[in-house]
Amino acid sequence: MSTYFPPAGSDYTYTSRLTYASGTYEINNSDFLGISSSTNGGAISRSSSARISIFMCYFAGCTSSRNGGAIYSSLGSNGQISVSKTIGTSCETTSSTNYYGQFIYSTFSSSSSIQSFSQCSISKCSQSASSSNRAPMYLNQGTLTLNSINLSENAVAYTHSFYLSGTASSISYVFVADGSISSATEMEFNNFDGTFYDTMFINITSGGNKKISQKFFQTTSSTVTFNRISFINCNLNSEVLVSSQRFDSSQITFIDYYAPGIRTNSISVSNSVSQTEYITDYYDEEDLGNDRKIPVPDETPHYSPIQTQFATFQETPNETPYITPLNTPCATFQETQLMTLRETPFNTPFNTFQETNEPIISSQTQIETTQETQTALVSTATQISSKSVVTSSIISNSPTNTQNINAYNSSVTQNDQSNGSVNSISKGTLIGIFSSCAGALIIIAILVAFIILRKKKNSYTEYNNSDFDSIDNDDESLNSVDIPIAPAYNYDIATTTETFQTKTTDIDWNTRNSDADDDNDLFKPDFMLNEMTKDPSDDDF
């Protein structure tokens, strides 16, 4: 029994039959348990022009006395049915009359109708073979889609897995396992045209009367192709795979097939492989397990490739190089730009295409003159690179558009000329900058020379009384200071001008403060002035 999607946490549980005549219906996350009907469809029956979608549902023990043990659908030309992520187990038809669809019976009156089935598991439909039960899945007319279908442990008398009529849109990953055929065939095709991809039959054996010829395929006016098909541990009482009714023009083709011990009469074959090669090329042990029991799908919302890349980088910054998350978005951006620009030259007038180049040129000029805008170079260069690739693709892929290409080349020439003018302006600007810098350096040199000469000129300074007023400020925090003392006196009689040649010495303020107060008078301006005005003939002088 398959456990694709366990019947846990369902929103609704039905124990009585649902019927629909018209309208559009969606049935989600529901259980249908032990529902029986004496008419078509044990759990669900719909007719007329109704459209129905069945998603994440579970059917168990549903029976019908006619067609469709669990689901019956008979629609007009506008009908549609979609069944996905659904389980059916122990469902069957119970009448002694030959009825189809142990799990589902679906038929349409128009070939334009749609029948879609994906990620479905049907097991034990029915549980025991009899002369009345046929085909767990009966799909008649319309466009058919069958993806990831598991049919296992089904016991039927006739047509062990599918009855198909119509046109295949997409059929892939069909897995049929652990069943027995009492009579006739595994699959029945009636006016069917389509291709199966990746089909496996495992442990299919004979059941019931072994004198009855059992074959895998029965065809009527059908063309069927199996691309990658294998038969593993299959033992029927007939080695012939195909039985064609009325010797019609049906055709079955195998491509890359593995069928040990089975004759491929009436089948067109291509590339028989060994079991080891087949399993290695197309399956591994994990795939085989997933075919039987596909895990519950992850319903967590998926984010964009760029957000995921950056989220991973933030969580493991020490393990992923910093350049890795930058390369991925850039690569994606380039591809996106390329895809967009491939259509631009054809769908957009060339004069508009020329205008889009102007901001790129201005961006390049800003990058040459301003260091802060260097980061814009990446996006600008990417656009320029993408445009160059587009140009080459236009020339190679569109030889008939000669005039458009010439117009485009002319626009590029004009842009090159404008680029030359921009470059000349940039050179003139640089020359002006260098000239300004040279002039500034000359001015600075002149100022420095002037300051040096000025300093030498002021090495001898005239002092007046106000220059000595600051000496009265005693500060014990100073250990020493240079002050003028005992000026050498020269007296010019002719001009009566007093000239002082300054000398300096280091005075310890702490020592000076410990001397008598009279000593302090020596440094007072009034005392010094009185001393300078004395008569040189005086004895005190």
Whether the Cβ atoms of residue 97 and residue 123 lie closer than 8 Å to each other:
no
Instruction: Copy the structure tokens of residue 254.
Output: 């195998």
Instruction: Copy the structure tokens of residue 310.
Output: 């950056």
**In the predicted structure, residue 43 carries a pLDDT above the cut 90:** yes
- Quick: pLDDT tens for 224-276: 999 999 888 877 655 556 655 545 788 999 999 988 877 777 788 999 887 65
Mean pLDDT across the chain: 66
Region 430-443: mean pLDDT is 87
Percent of the chain with pLDDT over 70: 48
Cis omega before residue 126 (within 30°)?
yes
Q: How many CB atoms lie within 10 A of CB 24?
A: 11
Whether the full predicted model's pTM is greater than 0.75, yes or no, is no
State how far the Cα of 366 lies from the Cα of 379, in Å rounded to an integer. Answer: 14
Tell me which residue of 296, 2, 253 sits closest to 149, measured CA to CA.
Answer: 2
pLDDT greater at residue 446 or residue 353? 446
**DSSP bridge partners of 193:** 167, 223
Whether the Cβ atoms of residue 117 and residue 83 lie closer than 8 Å to each other:
yes
Check residue 535 and give its pLDDT: 58
Write phi, then psi, for 306 (nearest 5 degrees).
Answer: -70, -45
* The amino acid at 37: S
State how far the Cα of 298 lies from the Cα of 364, in Å rounded to an integer. Answer: 48
State how far the Cα of 242 lies from the Cα of 84, in Å rounded to an integer. Answer: 31
State how far the Cα of 412 lies from the Cα of 427, in Å rounded to an integer. Answer: 23
At 497, the pLDDT band (50, 70, 90 cuts) reads very low
Of all residues in the chain, what percent are helix, strand and coil, respectively (each to 5)? 35, 35, 30
- Quick: pLDDT tens for 164-205: 999 999 999 999 888 766 666 778 899 999 999 999 988 877
- Quick: pLDDT tens for 381-423: 444 344 443 333 333 444 444 444 444 445 544 544 544 444 4
Instruction: Copy the structure tokens of residue 435.
Output: 């000239």
State how far the Cα of 34 lies from the Cα of 36, in Å rounded to an integer. Answer: 7
